[in-house]
Amino acid sequence: MDRRRDIERPSPLPQHILSSTQFDRGFLDYLYTLTTTIRRFDKSREGLGYLQSLLPHKRAMLYFTQPSTRTFLSFQSACHVLGISASEIRDAATSSERKGESVEDSLRTFSSYVDLIIMRSPIAGLCERVAQLLDGTPRPVPIVNAGSGPDEHPTQALLDIYTLRRSLRLGGGIDGKTICMVGDLKRGRTVRSLARLLTNYDDVRIVFASPPAFRIAEDLRHDLSVSGLKFHETDDFEAAIADADAIYMTRIQDEYDAVGAEPVDTSRFHLTAAHLPRLKTDAVIMHPLPRRDELDVAIDDDPRAKYWRQERNGMWVRVALLTMLFGVDDRVQLPEL
């Protein structure tokens, strides 16, 4: 317990990071306080040197068999910040999977050499399977889900909430706010993980704005209903964004299209500079990135646009998570009130 802030260190600390459903409000408050503290270490050479001294005896494998720019680089950078050596596989065709080795055997092999596996895969549920498999071996290592098909992207949701929390702090934080999520809500894993994480906040309302073909999946609709979080599905994009405290834009996930599928017209769900006067003056505009034409580059200079900060925040949230996975978070001093 940190007596000054009444923020309790989660116990037990997480063994793996697999799903946004594994976190509660206490965990989030602790993680974000830790993240903000760690950022302060970045301001001096001594601070950075201290962070690098925390885990130089640890090795990580970044197994990314689906494309990634920011998740890969921010995890790799987070490892460097903490002194962790990082190896990578970015294409299963360059591993012995090409010779017929199962993905499970490949991942078990990594656990022979490293202390942590951070993985992105097109296969939904693979992270959980591998975590369970390794937990039954003499050398279990933490598994971090860095994106599992159209299923989950828990660390993206963690950094999204951190960004929302910081951006909305002058307006009283996330509790009581309306968050509008836009785009391919059916297959966008960031939306699925973020919506579930938002159930930890009080009186939040989510407005899902999408073409009918991209409405949220039934399992998410069910989970949100059970949680009691208020949500609404609409194709009235203009009304939804005007009413929102935060707008979370997402791209179309056409990598999951069936062969020969007819493209869905999403042009009515693009946020352009022409919309800016209609948004709340203190609205927050976010996007997990990468973007296409759903988010106009002309918005980048608007003070409400937070997506570049959002991706930078991702590195610091991931540094904080790694300290917790290795149990050295208590060596980072929490701030005075």
CB 150 within 8 A of CB 190: no
Report, in angstroms and rounded to the nearest whole number, the Rg of the chain calculated over CA atoms.
20
Can 65 be counted among the known catalytic residues?
no
Catalytic residue among 58, 108, 153, 318: 153
**Per the omega criterion (within 30 degrees of 0), is the bond before 288 cis?**
no
Can 70 be counted among the known catalytic residues?
yes
Q: Which residue, judged by CB position, is nearest to ligand CP in the bound state?
A: 71
| Residues that contact ligand CP, how many (by CB under 6 A) | 10
Catalytic residue among 35, 71, 199, 323: 71
Instruction: Name which position in 69, 102, 132, 137 contacts ligand CP (CB under 6 A).
Output: 69
Instruction: Name which position in 19, 121, 156, 210 contacts ligand CP (CB under 6 A).
Output: 156
CB 51 within 8 A of CB 318: no
Catalytic residue among 120, 165, 192, 318: 120
Cα–Cα distance measured from residue 287 to residue 99, given in angstroms and rounded to the nearest whole number: 38
Q: Which is nearer to ligand CP, 108 or 251 (CB)?
A: 251
Can 71 be counted among the known catalytic residues?
yes
Q: Which is nearer to ligand CP, 20 or 111 (CB)?
A: 20
For the segment 71-90, give every residue that binds ligand CP (CB under 6 A): 71-72
125-137 burial, b if ≥16 CB within 10 A, otherwise e? ebbbebbebbeee
For the segment 12-51, give every residue that binds ligand CP (CB under 6 A): none
Q: Which is nearer to ligand CP, 66 or 178 (CB)?
A: 66
Instruction: Print the binding letters for residues 267-296 with ligand CP: x by CB under 6 A, - otherwise.
Output: ---------------------xxx------
Q: Which is nearer to ligand CP, 33 or 68 (CB)?
A: 68
Instruction: Name which position in 36, 68, 85, 227 contacts ligand CP (CB under 6 A).
Output: 68
CB 231 within 8 A of CB 206: yes
Map tokens 């596996």 to a residue.
Answer: 117
Q: Rule CB under 6 A: is residue 70 a binding residue for ligand CP?
A: yes
Torsion 125-106-72-24 (CA) sign: positive
CB 186 within 8 A of CB 215: yes
Torsion 282-288-290-295 (CA) sign: negative
Residues that are catalytic: 70-71, 99, 120, 153
Which residues in this chain contact ligand CP in the complex, by CB under 6 A? 68-72, 147, 156, 288-290
